[in-house]
């Protein structure tokens, strides 16, 4: 938990800022505090830091609340709330009550809204558009949605005699599915409900489809997407699915030794998927995986530990770390001096430590499989007197992968050195139906798109020169699916007067 604790305000290496992604700043703070409380390690400094993030996340999330008590990813853009997101917010707000002041009315409003979406069968009706359609049996169908909401109700402490819970469990017991993600959710729900036999049956079925290698245990999607070119990581959906299986194994009041043995194998795999900040690939897998890891960490905590870790290279470099009770929450780091190089890690003592190697470097954008078409134009294309001071950037994008449409997609358009975006053109861009949100930094404009289909869509905004820069390099544009980062493409463009040749031509024409 140490890496996540040190980076609790920055767990992802990607942009996030809508009604769902805001919760990645919220949920992990709860689970880390729960772990530290149960292990007796929660000091005032950590508590104050975590509670500050919880308070700001709470206030920010209320901006996405609709008048009927529901929540959606984009309050201004969405005509109605979303069933899954409303349940997610209810779960998070409910679990945050021991740490910050939560207005009970927000919980009551969300609970009542969900109550009105429950069918006579006990299952829940899906309302509103999801940004993530990648789970295919995750929150796409009614059964998995109903299993998720049932988990939320049980985690909130709603009694089994509550009519809403009773009907929800009735829905789950009468259903069946071969989808692994849904089975994982069902196993966790039945574990929380104390239905041990149903939980065990599902876990036995899941075990037949697990992947076991090197003392690690995990589950994969049946249809594999492309891995991310930027990090050797598992898919977000696979991390989330595996984390739910771990939660199912840890869901009973008294976890058996056999379940703990299996859980340890799952934890080994999950911990290898953590990014350098302690989070994971995307938002939901980060929240669920840290919840599962925190629960495991609390169950396996030992108050007595003293471990020495020695990292040495073939050339003779040597770095030693000591982990003991006094510094077990401190993230210790050291730079490796020989790159490339071969290193050996040795440990001695008693206890458990987490060792992670992070290598960062810059490369030209890698070529990807053709899941997106992206082409970039400037208007005007040629260098003119007016084009030096101001020109338009036109981004054309289309999805060409196997699915009918993408999840939420992100376009990150870097700006040439010395240029800034024109605010009035961005305001016009925000009015386009596909544009959910815009973020503007000094050197980049980030577009959050609702989705992309096989039909090309175009996005235009203007740039103006802030200060002159000679011999401008081409600026990159990156397009990717937020939840399937393996589906991506890159392009680049040059300012009309960006090259030295263009600058000379313009100077001679004067």
Tell whether the model's pLDDT for residue 204 goes beyond 80. Answer: yes
Average pLDDT over residues 46-59: 88
Confidence band for 13, pLDDT divided at 50, 70 and 90: low
Report the C-alpha gap between 34 and 40 in whole angstroms: 10
**What are the phi and psi torsion angles at 367 (to 5°)?**
-75, 140
Look at residue 139 in the predicted model and tell me its pLDDT: 43
Looking at residue 509, its pLDDT comes to 43
Please state, in angstroms and as integers, the Cα–Cα distance from residue 60 to each residue in 20, 57, 65, 74, 283, following that order: 11, 5, 10, 12, 16
How high does pLDDT run on average in the chain?
87
Return phi, psi of residue 121, to 5°.
-70, -15
Mean pLDDT lowest for which of 11-25, 322-336, 397-411, 494-508? 494-508
Q: Could you give the percent of the chain with pLDDT greater than 90?
A: 57
pLDDT (tens digit, 9 = 90+) per residue, 102-136? 999 999 999 999 999 999 999 999 887 665 554 43
User: 257-272 and 283-300 helices cross at what angle (nearest 10)?
Assistant: 140
Pairing status of strand 306-313 against strand 318-324: antiparallel
Identify the three-state secondary structure at position 1.
coil
Q: How many CB atoms lie within 10 A of CB 75?
A: 15
**Measured distance CA(344)–CA(26) in Å, rounded:** 37
Model confidence over 431-462: pLDDT tens digits?
998 998 888 988 999 999 988 999 999 999 99
Supply the pLDDT for residue 508. Answer: 45
Between CA 96 and CA 444 the distance in angstroms is 35
Nearest Cα neighbor of 261 from 273, 251, 246, 244 is: 246
Q: Mean pLDDT, to the nearest integer, of 215-228?
A: 74
pLDDT at 270 over 70: yes
Nearest to 106 by CA among 131, 81, 127: 81
- The pLDDT of 454-475, averaged and rounded, is 93
* Res. 506 pLDDT band, cuts 50 70 90: very low
* pLDDT above 90: residue 216: yes
Counting every residue written for the chain, the total comes to 510
Which DSSP state fits 18? S
Judge whether 186 and 206 are in contact, CB under 8 Å: no
45 Cβ neighbours under 8 A, 6+ residues apart: none
Residue-wise pLDDT for 297-314, tens only, equals 999 988 888 999 999 998
Per-residue confidence band for 224, with pLDDT thresholds at 50, 70 and 90: low
């Amino acid at each position: 938990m140490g890496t996540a604790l040190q980076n609790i305000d920055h767990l992802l290496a990607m942009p996030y800022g809508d009604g769902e992604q805001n919760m990645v700043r919220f949920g992990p703070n709860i689970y880390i505090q729960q772990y530290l409380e149960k292990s007796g390690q929660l000091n005032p400094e950590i508590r104050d830091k975590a509670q500050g993030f919880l308070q700001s996340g709470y206030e920010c999330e209320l901006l996405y609340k609709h008048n009927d008590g529901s929540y959606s990813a984009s309050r201004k853009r969405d005509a109605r709330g979303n069933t899954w997101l409303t349940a997610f917010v209810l779960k998070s707000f409910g679990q945050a009550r021991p740490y910050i002041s939560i207005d009970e009315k927000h919980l009551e409003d969300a609970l009542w809204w969900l109550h009105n979406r429950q069918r006579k069968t006990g299952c829940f009706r899906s309302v509103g558009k999801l940004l993530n359609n990648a789970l295919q049996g995750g929150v796409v169908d009614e059964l998995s949605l109903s299993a998720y909401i049932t988990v939320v109700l049980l985690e909130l402490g709603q009694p089994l005699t509550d009519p809403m819970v009773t009907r929800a469990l009735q829905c789950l017991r009468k259903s069946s599915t071969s989808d692994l993600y849904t089975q994982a959710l069902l196993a966790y729900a039945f574990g929380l409900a104390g239905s041990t036999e149903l939980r065990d049956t599902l876990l036995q079925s899941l075990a037949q489809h697990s992947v076991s290698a090197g003392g690690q245990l995990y589950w994969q999607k049946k249809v594999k997407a492309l891995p991310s070119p930027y990090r050797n990581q598992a898919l977000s959906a696979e991390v989330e699915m595996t984390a739910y299986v771990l939660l199912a194994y840890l869901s009973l009041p008294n976890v058996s030794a056999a379940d703990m043995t299996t859980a340890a194998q799952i934890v080994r795999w999950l911990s290898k998927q953590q990014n350098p900040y302690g989070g994971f690939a995307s938002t939901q897998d980060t929240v669920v995986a840290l919840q599962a890891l925190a629960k495991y960490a609390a169950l396996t905590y030992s108050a007595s530990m003293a471990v020495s870790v020695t990292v040495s290279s073939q050339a003779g470099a040597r770095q030693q770390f000591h982990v003991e009770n006094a510094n077990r929450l401190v993230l210790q780091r050291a730079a490796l001096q020989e790159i490339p190089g071969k290193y050996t890690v040795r440990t001695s003592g008693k206890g458990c430590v987490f060792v992670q190697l992070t290598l960062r470097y810059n490369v030209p954008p890698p070529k990807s499989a053709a899941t997106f078409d992206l082409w970039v134009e400037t208007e005007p294309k040629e260098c003119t007197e007016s084009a030096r001071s101001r020109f338009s950037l036109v981004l054309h994008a289309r999805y060409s992968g196997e699915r009918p449409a993408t999840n939420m997609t992100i376009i990150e358009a870097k700006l040439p050195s010395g240029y800034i975006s024109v605010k009035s053109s961005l305001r016009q861009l925000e009015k386009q139906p596909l544009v959910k949100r815009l973020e503007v930094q000094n050197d980049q404009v980030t577009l959050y798109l609702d989705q992309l289909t096989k039909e090309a869509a175009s996005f235009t905004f203007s740039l103006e020169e802030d200060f002159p820069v000679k011999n401008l390099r081409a600026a990159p544009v990156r397009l990717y699916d937020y939840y399937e980062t393996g589906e991506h493409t890159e392009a680049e463009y040059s300012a009309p007067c960006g090259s030295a040749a263009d600058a000379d031509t313009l100077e001679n024409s004067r």
